[in-house]
Amino acid sequence: MTITPLHFVGVSALLFGIGLLVVLTRRNAIGVLMGIELMLNAVNVQLVTFDRVYGPERLDGQLFSLFVITVAAAEAVVGLALILAVYRSRGTVAVDDLHELRG
């Protein structure tokens, strides 16, 4: 059995679905961030797959993938800083308890 691009598309869709499920069901802010990271990684798999299939002589998909990784790292840093600030002021990171901006 050979591995085709369709297999990578399936893995990417599965990762994105799991990430979306985590984002929609988690009540913890850290879990939501982890779900977002899964969805961004699914996009990276998709970008690299399409780059290898449709443009192997160019590196467009791989460069976009590096850009997505950079944005994901910045998102994780800012998100964790916000979570720490909320935890210090409220004592919880439960998303349901954070319905107001003022404490």
* pLDDT confidence of residue 59: 76
Angle formed by the axes of helices 29-54 and 5-25, to 10°? Answer: 160
Torsion, CA 17, CA 29, CA 33, CA 70, rounded to 10 = 160
**Confidence (pLDDT) at 101:** 62
pLDDT at residue 103, rounded to an integer: 55
Spell out, as residue ranges, where the chain has pLDDT lower than 70: 100-103
Q: Based on the structure, what is the number of domains in the chain? A: 1
12 within domain boundaries: yes
Whether 15 is in a domain gets the answer: yes
Distance in angstroms (rounded) separating the CA atoms of residues 70 and 50: 20
* Residue 103 in domain: no
Is residue 40 assigned to a domain?
yes
Q: How confident is the model at residue 18, as a pLDDT? A: 97
93 within domain boundaries: yes
Enclosing domain of residue 63: 5-97
> CATH number of the domain that 33 lies in?
1.10.287.3510
Token pair listed for 36: 């977002």
What's the pLDDT score for residue 36? 92
79 in a domain, yes or no?
A: yes
